[in-house]
Amino acid sequence: MTQTDIAIIGGGVNGSSTGLELAKNGLNVTIIDKNFICRGASGVNAGTLTMHMTRAQLIPYAKKGWELWMNTSEWLSKEIEVEKKNGLCLAFTEDEEKLLIERSKVRKKYGADIKVISRKEAQRVDSNINPNIRCAAFCEMDGYVSANQTGYAYSKALKENKVNILENYSVSEIEYNNNNKYVIVFENGEKLIASNLILATGVNLGKTLKFLQIDINIKCLPQQLIVSERMPKIMDTVITVANGKLSLKQFNNGTVLIGGGWPGIGNIEDNYTETKPENLIGNMMLACHAIPKLKNSRVARVWLGLEAETDDAMPIIGEIPNFKNAYVIGSIHSGYTSGPYMGKLLAEKILGKDVDLSLFDIKRFL
Amino acid sequence: MILINNKTKYDVIVIGAGPSGVSSAINCAKRGLKVLIVDSNHEAGGQIYRAPPKTYKSIPKNKLEENEIQKKMSIELKNYQIETAYNHTVWQVSPGFKVNAFNDFSTIQWETKSLIIATGTYEKIIPFEGWTIPGVIGLAACTVMLKSHHFIPSKKIILAGNGPLLILVAYYISKFGGKVDAIVDTCSKLDWIRSTLSLITNQKNFNDGIKWIFKIFLNRIPVHSNCKIEKAVEVDGGIKVKILNLKTGEYKNIFSETIAIGHGLTPSTDITRLLRAEHIYDEHKGGWIAKVDRFLRSSVNGVYLAGDGAGISGALAASDKGLLASTALLYDKKIISKKEFDTNTRKIKKKLDKYEVFAKAISKLNSIPKKLIENIHEDTIICRCEDITKKEILSAVDQGAKDINQIKSWTRLGMGPCQGRTCQYTASKIIAEYLNCEIENLGYLTGRSPIRPVPIDRVLGDFDYEKITKVEAAPL
């Protein structure tokens, strides 16, 4: 039976960032994933790093996360496409204008450097946007990551920091023994003993918490993403909209990614996903309305990712009550943006630093 | 918004109006089922019997037998009053079953209880340095130009790859007045002679083959056996082609205007992969194929594979395979009795067994020599949609990528408009050889909608912003 200081179940951005930080501080870390590192939501999300869609209360965390993403060469890897872009959130109607002003004000209060600008100013930021907007919210702190490269970058960094990675390992049981240690039993019969346990299984967090007899509702949001074929440059910003769901940007290779969280069909039981054509069309219409040149393109691929959400749509991060040295991290809204920072925070907490995670305490659901 | 939701519910939708699709549609319609047959072309016929372009006012004087068969197929569908949706490209199929397709104006959704997939194959091309330059086309693509469009790609051409398409294309090019500068065949002459006994089992195709070979002799077309194209470079007035003899290691340069190259066919699995059906790897049947039982039922209830979709047997076997799949469907739907099912399928199977000998021989001639993969230069592009080279694939493997989907995610291989149809075969071969493992262990690319690129303006049309059905924004 192998032993480890820290066992992290779930090798997405949350689990991997936590593990990376702990390993850098000299701890012996094992990351377990039922698939591969960052092959779930962390590898298939839109990679948008925007403040315009982040929940107001999470803005301070998203800002820290954004800064980490902009410096991946320092703590993660050089080999991941990260671009800083200006972010524009567009309002097309009078109602949307009101909503945009109001929402930007709240986000600003929480620290986002957002200002509402006129149509002309917005066109100067990106001449490709629909000229019929009423106004836009502007934020310099925006950009994107090529999320498909997340697994590559994290695998490399984890290996370099001597993290033990168990891929294709499904957990069937977790025993909490008399010595306050965790015995993780895998479906293949192998076992692992850990002094510390971190649960970071994303959309499966509800299922994983049940191993410790904790019952929390984690919703599964199947979200569609659409990517165009490669195109000449048709936009130069990250675009969102005041009302409804849209995130839009063009990667360096020319493909345009249309996201924002339009629901498709999917469940965690058999990991099945299916696209909803009517929602693809709605999402594409919104995108083409924002950037009209997009209409000349073709859709090359559609896929889905499963996002996790708690009942109050706020994260759960921190200690698991009644268990010694057991922690949880997940359901972070705009989790890809904040994930690296949230992971770092949890790692610091485990290392004994004074970190305030009370906003994300799991106790509120128990 | 032009999402047309067709209210009609069909008993069967047949996707693909080639010989197997047509025969299965007719078999179902004869028994009173409500059938719709969908095809992206403007008439029935499929690839082998592809209809001439709509813009052709009259068939050119070199009328071919294939054009006659094609016409008959369209007429038969009409006679049985089978609903047709020509000019419709299927881009999404979901369980239940919902079939989404687009035409020149809109996208439409149909519902059906059962599905017959008769989407045939596409061709395999093993990359070489310069295979993405203009002037390099597929060998099967070349047959479409010849047989349905009645034109030759250029006056001078090099034919490369392997299998019977080489001699077929050489025949038609010569017939239509072109000049074949060389045939570059990965097989040896001995391979051809060895296959004769098996090929003769299909008298019709065998006789055609003899006719084609005779023409090649008559026209003194140079045949380079055991050879592959090593490199192609654009030069003034044409292409400079360097060929390599795989046995002797000798090089030779040839000049021409066009290269038509193909290494056999691989079954189209787009729809079965979308439906998460089980697939198996069978090199002799063309690569990854949907797993079917003896009567061509897939692992998904209500989904049948007609034609070459679950293993290549060729055009002559296709219509019988369509009959077999649709007979299984009729029995499953309790439309025919066990007795009738047994009698009919026994008859069909007997006929099909004969074609299998022929198909196996063809598949041998189309087999990919190990050297063809080993010889690919590390800077050669494998995934042409995303410009991914062999080196990039192998460096992802070095970093620990263990299956083809992980390679896809890390390198973007197979993420482009063709969704890996062109590169999956070669990429899998390269990785399997590098890791010294079986291709089965690498898995296959997860099916993703749309299976063909969807033109955005065609799907959306003109729309009012106010009328977009929006989903609620995330909470503040």
Contact A248, A289 (CB under 8 A): no
Global pTM reads 0.93
Helices A335-350 and A59-70: crossing angle, nearest 10°? 90
What span, in angstroms and rounded, lies between the C-alpha atoms of A105 and B314? Answer: 67
Contacts A148 to B, Cβ<8 Å: 409-410, 412, 415
Distance from CA of A348 to the nearest CA of B (A): 28
Q: Which of B94, B419, B473 lies closest to A301 in CB terms? A: B419
What backbone phi and psi angles, to 5 degrees, belong to A96?
A: -65, -35
Per-residue model confidence as pLDDT tens for chain A (366 residues): 699 999 999 999 999 999 999 999 999 999 999 999 999 999 999 999 999 999 999 999 999 999 999 999 999 998 899 999 999 999 999 999 999 999 999 999 999 999 999 999 999 999 999 999 999 999 999 999 999 999 999 999 999 999 999 999 999 999 999 888 999 999 999 999 999 999 999 999 999 999 999 999 999 999 999 999 999 999 999 999 998 899 999 999 999 999 999 999 998 887 778 888 889 999 999 999 999 999 999 999 999 999 999 999 999 999 999 999 999 999 998 899 999 999 999 999 999 999 999 999 999 999
Q: Closest residue of B to A314, CA-based?
A: B475
Distance from CA of B434 to the nearest CA of A (A): 19
Do B109 and A277 make contact, defined as CB atoms within 8 angstroms?
Answer: yes
- pLDDT reported for residue B1: 38
Do A300 and B453 make contact, defined as CB atoms within 8 angstroms?
Answer: yes
Distance from CA of B473 to the nearest CA of A (A): 4
- Would an 8 Å CB–CB cutoff place B441 in contact with chain A? no
Residue B364 has pLDDT above 90, yes or no: no
- Go through chain B and tell me how many residues it has: 476
Rg (CA), chain A: 21
Distance from CA of A107 to the nearest CA of B (A): 8
- pLDDT one-digit tens code per residue, B69-101: 898 999 999 999 999 999 999 999 999 999 999
Residue matched to tokens 């918490």: A209
What span, in angstroms and rounded, lies between the C-alpha atoms of B377 and B412? Answer: 19
Q: Closest residue of A to B463, CA-based?
A: A285
Do A36 and B1 make contact, defined as CB atoms within 8 angstroms?
Answer: no
Residue B475 has pLDDT above 90, yes or no: no
Contacts B455 to A, Cβ<8 Å: 297-298
- pLDDT reported for residue A228: 96
Average pLDDT, chain B: 92
Distance from chain centroid for Cα A52: 15
- pLDDT reported for residue B421: 94
Q: Which of A284, A296, A298 lies closest to B453 in CB terms? A: A298
Q: Closest residue of B to A55, CA-based?
A: B476
- pLDDT reported for residue B426: 97
| Interface with A, mutate which of B300, B421, B458, B470 (most A CBs under 10 A) | B470
Q: Closest residue of B to A105, CA-based?
A: B476
- pLDDT reported for residue B473: 77
Distance from CA of A332 to the nearest CA of B (A): 13
Give residue B193's identity as a one-letter amino acid code. Answer: I
Do B459 and A167 make contact, defined as CB atoms within 8 angstroms?
Answer: no
